[in-house]
């Protein structure tokens, strides 16, 4: 049995709803990447250098990134040689296995919620869906039985405080806020005190996504972080960077800048359902050495999903490879 079939059997017999979310959410990427790989497989009869060169182009177009593409193809070549693969059709299954292994290695996708008061600091530029994601995460944690509080620390963007308030009401969690233009660190301080007093399990802090320049933004984030650390030693326990998947390699540039300035512990990749370039997940995992903690797979409040490497790989190649395998099996039987 192929690796892909084993993967499918394992996933579809576990959580069907989650599998469907990944499959549906990665439709655009799958239609581009998996179909392109299939076309390549059927155009080449031999697994040679020309085949691998064209595969590199396919992966780069899916925003896997040049560096990660080269790493992936090198690993693929090693596996193809080790398994003595001659038929290009068999390369598909080896590719799925290599991608899965790259994503699963040292995976740390679960949130650290082991403290009496867990503080999650959200960072990211404006427009990536940060505030919306905070609301969805608050709803998810509350449904898991945790008490949650939100801190409206993005006091510079017009409407950001009201937007978070709406999400708080929708999720049924309190929001600590001050007026627009207030000192973000003061808002976070108030929120920490309120969270302690009410003994909530999780405090999620929104932050500014743009100031006069990048230096000012990073300084403001550092100030907020110092306030949290002073009040709760060891916090924040998670610093999550929200990135917009639709921006592709630009998201990588943002990630590198934030990683240099703050202790980012994980990535939340938003709007993954809205792009054909979901290969950015591979680039993030491989080049930044940061775990992807959550992915946004739709606009509904429950469409924020914990990242699962196997679910992602199945969603990435899904029914496209499955249909081809079925057709080939029928032909073999005839």
101 is in an annotated binding site: no
Q: Are strands 304-306 and 292-296 parallel, antiparallel or unpaired?
A: antiparallel
Confidence of residue 210 (pLDDT cuts 50, 70, 90): confident
User: Are 153 and 281 contained in the same domain?
Assistant: yes
The whole-angstrom separation of Cα 257 and Cα 231 is 27
User: Are 130 and 246 contained in the same domain?
Assistant: yes
Describe the strand order of the beta sheet including 292-296 as a list of residue ranges. Answer: 175-176, 148-151, 202-205, 118-123, 238-244, 266-270, 292-296, 304-306
User: Are 96 and 184 contained in the same domain?
Assistant: no
Q: Which helix (H) or strand (E) holds 252?
A: helix 249-261
296 is in an annotated binding site: no
297 is in an annotated binding site: no
Question: Range of 56's domain?
Answer: 11-107+312-333
Can you give the CATH number for the domain in which 92 is found?
A: 1.20.120.140
111 is in an annotated binding site: no
The whole-angstrom separation of Cα 314 and Cα 309 is 9
Give the start-end residues of each E strand in 154-256.
175-176, 202-205, 238-244
Cβ-contact 72, 59 below 8 angstroms: yes
119 is in an annotated binding site: no
128 is in an annotated binding site: yes
Three-state SS at 267: strand
User: Are 247 and 287 contained in the same domain?
Assistant: yes
Cβ-contact 11, 21 below 8 angstroms: no
Is 280 a domain residue?
Answer: yes
In this prediction, residue 147 carries a pLDDT of 98
Q: Is the pLDDT of residue 330 over 70?
A: no
User: Are 250 and 316 contained in the same domain?
Assistant: no
Higher pLDDT, 160 or 277: 160
35 is in an annotated binding site: no
Q: Is the pLDDT of residue 324 over 60?
A: no
Structure confidence by residue, pLDDT tens digits, 30-74: 988 988 999 999 999 899 999 999 999 999 999 999 999 999 999
Is 23 a domain residue?
Answer: yes
In this prediction, residue 112 carries a pLDDT of 92
Q: Which of 306, 28, 267 has the alpha carbon at shortest distance from 128?
A: 267
User: Are 317 and 274 contained in the same domain?
Assistant: no
Number of structural domains in the chain? 2
Structure confidence by residue, pLDDT tens digits, 80-102: 999 999 999 899 999 999 999 98
93 is in an annotated binding site: no
Can you give the CATH number for the domain in which 264 is found?
A: 3.40.50.300
Is 4 a domain residue?
Answer: no
User: Are 142 and 268 contained in the same domain?
Assistant: yes
274 is in an annotated binding site: no
Q: Which of 269, 263, 229 has the alpha carbon at shortest distance from 248?
A: 269
86 is in an annotated binding site: no
Is 46 a domain residue?
Answer: yes
* Mean pLDDT taken over the chain: 89
206 is in an annotated binding site: yes
């Amino acid at each position: 049995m192929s690796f892909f079939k084993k993967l499918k059997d394992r996933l579809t017999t576990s959580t069907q709803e989650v599998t469907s979310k990944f499959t549906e959410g990665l439709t655009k990427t799958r239609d581009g990447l998996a179909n392109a790989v299939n076309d390549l497989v059927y155009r080449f009869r031999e697994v040679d250098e020309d085949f691998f060169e064209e595969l590199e182009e396919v992966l780069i177009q899916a925003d896997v990134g040049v560096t990660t593409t080269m790493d992936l193809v090198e690993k693929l070549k090693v596996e193809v040689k080790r398994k003595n693969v001659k038929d290009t059709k068999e390369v598909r299954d080896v590719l799925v296995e290599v991608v899965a292994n790259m994503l699963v290695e040292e995976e740390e996708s679960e949130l650290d919620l082991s403290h009496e008061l867990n503080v999650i600091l959200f960072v990211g530029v404006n427009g990536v869906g940060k505030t919306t994601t905070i609301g969805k995460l608050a709803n998810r944690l509350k449904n898991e039985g945790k008490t949650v509080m939100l801190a409206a620390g993005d006091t510079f963007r017009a409407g950001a405080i009201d937007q978070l308030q709406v999400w708080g009401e929708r999720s049924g969690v309190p929001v600590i806020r001050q007026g627009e233009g207030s000192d973000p660190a003061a808002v976070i301080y108030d929120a920490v005190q309120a969270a302690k007093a009410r003994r909530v399990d999780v405090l999620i802090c929104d932050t500014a996504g743009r100031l006069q320049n990048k230096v000012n933004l990073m300084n403001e984030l550092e100030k907020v972080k110092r306030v949290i650390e002073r009040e709760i030693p060891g916090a924040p326990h998670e610093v999550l960077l929200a990135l917009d998947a639709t921006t592709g390699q630009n998201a990588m540039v943002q990630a590198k800048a934030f990683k240099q300035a703050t202790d980012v512990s994980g990535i939340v990749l938003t709007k993954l359902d809205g792009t054909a370039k979901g290969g950015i997940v591979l680039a993030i995992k491989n080049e930044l050495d940061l775990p992807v903690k959550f992915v946004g797979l739709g606009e509904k409040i429950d469409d924020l999903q914990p990242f699962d490497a196997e679910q992602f790989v199945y969603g990435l190649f899904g029914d496209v490879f499955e249909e081809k395998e079925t057709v080939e099996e029928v032909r073999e039987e005839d």
